[in-house]
Amino acid sequence: ETTPRMRTVMTALIQHVHDFAREVNLTTEEWLAGVAMLNWAGQMSNDKRNEGQLVCDVIGLESLVDDITYREASKADKPPTSSAILGPFWRADAPIRENGTTITFNTPKDAVVAYMHGQVTSAETGKPLANATVDVWQASTNGLYEQQDDDQIDCNLRGKFVTDAEGRYSFYCLRPTPYPIPFDGPAGKLLKLMDRHEYRPAHIHLIVESEGHRSLTTQIFDKDSKYLEDDSVFAVKDGLTVEFKPRKGDTQAEWDLEYNVTLAKK
């Protein structure tokens, strides 16, 4: 379906691509190399691998779109929790789990478990939001999300939690670890070309939704992680780093992470 907005966007894109070609005096070989890169990304992509998005991410495009999207919300008197990029590994069909349960099923030997919990409130009023959904996902210690890894059970390290009457959620998860993004395709080739590494700092992904409020897609980063300054996909922002604290008297978890979220009204 053609809309006026689509026309505006595509017209600007074509103009900028022409300007780019003129600016660098693009040669036939270089243009063909670009075409091959696009085709390669398409051929590599399937339901476990989203290479097109990965390419956008290493050039900072998803992060820029996220900044543009959050800009308006950040102007509010009481800005909501900062957003961050979705990344390629979210799944729409993650199961709803009970608060206080775990998302780590076939836990690797080197795993370190954390208890993550917090409250979802309205940014404007500070009131708790009951029945909000907290959708979380994270990679295992081998750097793989479950859909990339035949050794993990389906929906390992992901799940949706529904907040209680006080807006609270809780679950056991892994204390996340840094890992490389898939490096064997065009995204990896681009990184190499720019002398950049493929690592991401330790993070947990979240989507928080509550009726009448703007949906929040974000990531939280372990403040002690490597690569906070040079995330390969530019997702780290102020206000998204969190502190894991030692957890006492819980045989199930070594670390405690309190993470509260505020959402803006629609």
Instruction: Give the residues lining the site for Fe ion (CB under 5 A).
Output: 87
Shortest Å distance, C-beta 207 to Fe ion? 13
Per-residue string for binding with ligand DHB, 179-218, x by CB under 6 A? --x------------------x------------------
Q: Report the candidate in 69, 83, 118 with the shortest Cα–Cα distance to residue 237.
A: 83
> Which strand (E) or helix (H) includes residue 115?
strand 113-122
Binding flag, residue 178, ligand DHB (CB under 6 A): no
Shortest Å distance, C-beta 239 to ligand DHB? 18
Q: Which stretch binds ligand DHB (CB under 6 A): 37-45, 83-91, 126-134, 250-258?
A: 83-91
* Tokens found for residue 127: 């009131």
Backbone angles phi, psi at 40, to 5 degrees: -60, -45
Among 49, 83, 88, 136, which residue interacts with ligand DHB (rule: CB under 6 A)?
A: 88
CA-to-CA distance for 182 and 177, rounded, in angstroms? 16
CA-to-CA distance for 66 and 109, rounded, in angstroms? 36
Q: Which stretch binds ligand DHB (CB under 6 A): 12-20, 70-78, 81-89, 208-216?
A: 81-89
Residue with tokens 């543009």: 68
Residue nearest to ligand DHB as judged by C-beta position? 87
Q: Contact, 84 vs 208, CB < 8 A?
A: no
CA-to-CA distance for 46 and 25, rounded, in angstroms? 34
> Which strand (E) or helix (H) includes residue 42?
helix 28-44
Shortest Å distance, C-beta 113 to ligand DHB? 20
Residue nearest to Fe ion as judged by C-beta position? 87
Among 44, 80, 81, 87, which residue interacts with ligand DHB (rule: CB under 6 A)?
A: 87
> Which strand (E) or helix (H) includes residue 14?
helix 4-24
Q: Kindly list the residues in this chain that would bind ligand DHB in the complex (CB under 6 A).
A: 54, 57, 62, 85, 87-89, 139, 181, 200, 233
